[in-house]
């Protein structure tokens, strides 16, 4: 039991690492504003799949690292991701049985919530208003959710992450 | 927690975490670095010779200009001595750092450098490229550091017009090719094509480095201030190598010795603005 647990932990860490790599991967200027929020998608998946292993504390840790990576205020992403993790863990039994499109819509709401919290903190510290394209990542993320879900599910089954 | 960060209590936490994420940045940067390495090692002897020759010519030209500069510098010092001014021409130690090709928040103009506090970088250190001022460091970790470009909306840099000596503040706008000069009165002598150089007020940026070129001046008689925009001289989105500058007095970035008697008469706001470069006094100086 302990062996499988340890094994699974590495896979979860690895998935977050890949998500962070994708987040800071250099893209051309046109594509940059379309980049979905990979870390949040990964966090939502693990919160739905393994709510007893990945929850608020993991969200907080990942958020801190994300803050350092993207150069935002320390704690900004951490707060947003903790709240999302909390919502996910609270609702995981309901969201799990939704059909895929409805799941994607729920994910959209959570991604928008993440961006809204970040925007709120940003405007509190006096950053200027964002263009409408600021919301694109949420939309792209929700559209990609079915693929992310299938991919991470197959990873989870393959490596027997419990 | 957020408030705590604004008062710089969490800087050590951030630099510790930056060590943790350094491998990620290194991995993302790897394709670029390795492709550069491949290109270098696969370039032919002929190409290298050509490059060598062109560089040698360039160095010759630059050396010639430098000779003239030395003569001018000496003359300048003599003239200033006649005026009894305590101006100092300083040698500043420099270091070349390379950008890590990683993307940060797309709505902040920040870049990541491959040098950190192990190379004695410090927060607030000015950043230049071959064309002009790029920005300043805002976070310094052991191996990497984050710099804010002069076009970030949260950045302001004290400048002066090279032609007239008019002092003002240039604010970042959030677009990579535009700075704004909001505090220029309508009757001020400024026109498009004027070069803006750092004024050295605020004590953060060394004086005399080119910052931007005025591209547009709109004077509206109904308003107190004219609307002036400028284009940064530095290649903010293209430079891979950047120069980090140390103040001449090594450890102490704000050498109080330079604020002599005569200079204090010329630049009265110098003392007031010696806090930090980002929030220097918004009062525009008159020529």
Which domains are seen in chain B, by residue range?
Answer: 92-287 (2.40.10.340)
Q: In the prediction, which pLDDT does B34 show?
A: 85
- When CB atoms are compared, the residue of B13, B18, B174 closest to A128 is B174
Q: In the prediction, which pLDDT does B85 show?
A: 60
Q: Per the CB < 8 Å rule, is A23 touching B13?
A: no
Q: Which position has the token pair 């110098």?
A: B270
Confidence of residue A6 (pLDDT cuts 50, 70, 90): low
* Cβ contact B229:B215 at 8 Å: yes
Closest residue in chain A to residue B172, using alpha carbons only: A128
Average pLDDT score, chain A: 85
Q: How confident is the model over B176-194, as pLDDT tens digits?
A: 888 988 888 888 888 888 8
| Strands ordered across the beta sheet of B94-98 | B94-98, B241-245, B126-128, B133-140, B145-149, B110-113
Q: Residue B211 contacts by C-beta under 8 Å, 6 or more apart in sequence?
A: B132, B133, B150, B157, B159, B170, B179, B196, B197, B198, B230, B232, B233, B234
Give the integer Cα–Cα distance in Å for B115 and B24.
Answer: 16
B249 in A contact zone (CB under 8 Å): no
Q: In the prediction, which pLDDT does A111 show?
A: 92
**Min distance B153 CA to chain A CA atoms (Å):** 7
Give the integer Cα–Cα distance in Å for B285 and B253.
Answer: 24
**ipTM, 2 dp:** 0.73
Q: What is the pTM of this model?
A: 0.72
- Work out the angle at residue B93's Cα, subtended by the Cα atoms of residues B89 and B99, and round it to the nearest 5 degrees: 130
**Min distance A26 CA to chain B CA atoms (Å):** 5
Q: Per the CB < 8 Å rule, is A74 touching B25?
A: no
Confidence of residue B90 (pLDDT cuts 50, 70, 90): low
Q: How confident is the model over B197-241, as pLDDT tens digits?
A: 988 888 888 888 889 999 988 888 888 888 899 999 888 877 778
Q: In the prediction, which pLDDT does B45 show?
A: 82
Q: In the prediction, which pLDDT does B264 show?
A: 34
- A vs B, Cβ pairs < 8 A, gives 82
Closest residue in chain B to residue A118, using alpha carbons only: B105
B7 contacts in chain A (CB < 8 Å): none
Where b means 16+ CB within 10 Å and e means fewer, B256-276 reads eebeeeebeeebebbeebbee
- When CB atoms are compared, the residue of A25, A65, A74 closest to B5 is A74
Q: Per the CB < 8 Å rule, is B103 touching A64?
A: no
- When CB atoms are compared, the residue of B17, B110, B174 closest to A64 is B17
Q: How confident is the model over A33-91, as pLDDT tens digits?
A: 888 889 999 999 999 888 888 888 989 999 988 888 887 888 888 999 999 999 999 99
B156 contacts in chain A (CB < 8 Å): none
Q: Per the CB < 8 Å rule, is B103 touching A65?
A: no
Closest residue in chain B to residue A72, using alpha carbons only: B105
Q: In the prediction, which pLDDT does B30 show?
A: 82
**Min distance B92 CA to chain A CA atoms (Å):** 29
């Amino acid at each position: 039991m302990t062996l499988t647990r340890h094994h699974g932990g590495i896979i979860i860490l690895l998935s977050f690492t890949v998500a962070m790599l994708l987040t800071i991967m250099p893209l051309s200027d046109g594509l940059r504003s379309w980049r979905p929020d990979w870390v949040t998608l990964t966090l939502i998946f693990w919160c739905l799949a393994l709510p007893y292993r990945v929850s608020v504390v993991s969200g907080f840790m990942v958020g801190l690292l994300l803050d350092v990576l993207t150069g935002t205020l320390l704690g900004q992403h951490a707060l947003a991701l903790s709240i999302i993790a909390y919502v996910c863990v609270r609702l995981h039994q309901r969201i799990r049985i939704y059909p895929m499109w409805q799941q994607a819509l729920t994910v959209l709401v959570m991604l928008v919530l993440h961006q809204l919290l970040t925007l709120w903190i940003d405007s509190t510290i006096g950053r200027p208003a964002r263009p409408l394209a600021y919301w694109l990542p949420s939309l792209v993320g929700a559209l990609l959710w079915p693929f992310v879900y299938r991919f991470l599910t197959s990873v989870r089954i393959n490596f027997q992450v419990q | 927690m957020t408030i705590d960060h604004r008062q710089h209590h969490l800087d050590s936490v951030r630099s510790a975490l930056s060590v943790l994420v350094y491998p990620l940045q290194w991995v993302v940067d790897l394709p670029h670095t390795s492709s550069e390495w491949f290109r270098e090692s696969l370039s032919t002897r002929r190409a290298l010779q050509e490059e060598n020759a062109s560089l040698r010519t360039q160095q010759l030209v630059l050396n010639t200009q430098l000779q003239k500069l030395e003569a001018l510098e000496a003359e300048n010092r003599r003239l200033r001595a006649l005026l009894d001014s305590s101006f100092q021409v300083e040698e500043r130690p420099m270091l070349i750092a390379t950008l890590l090709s990683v993307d940060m928040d797309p709505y902040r103009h920040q870049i990541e450098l491959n040098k950190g506090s192990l190379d004695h970088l410090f927060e607030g250190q000015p950043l230049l490229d071959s064309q002009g001022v790029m920005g300043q460091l805002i976070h310094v970790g052991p191996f990497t550091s984050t710099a804010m470009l002069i076009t970030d909306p949260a950045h302001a840099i004290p400048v002066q017009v090279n032609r007239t000596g008019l002092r003002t503040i240039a604010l970042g706008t959030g677009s990579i090719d535009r700075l704004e000069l909001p505090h220029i009165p309508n009757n001020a002598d400024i026109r498009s094509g004027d070069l803006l150089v750092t004024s050295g007020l605020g004590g953060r940026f060394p004086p005399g480095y080119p910052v931007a070129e005025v591209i547009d001046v709109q004077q509206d008689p109904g308003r107190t201030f004219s609307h002036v925009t400028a284009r940064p001289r530095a290649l903010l989105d293209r430079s891979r190598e950047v120069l980090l500058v140390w103040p001449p007095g090594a450890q102490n970035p704000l050498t109080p010795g330079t604020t002599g008697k005569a200079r204090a008469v010329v630049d009265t706001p110098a003392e007031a603005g010696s806090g930090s470069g980002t929030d220097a006094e918004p009062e525009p100086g008159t020529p």
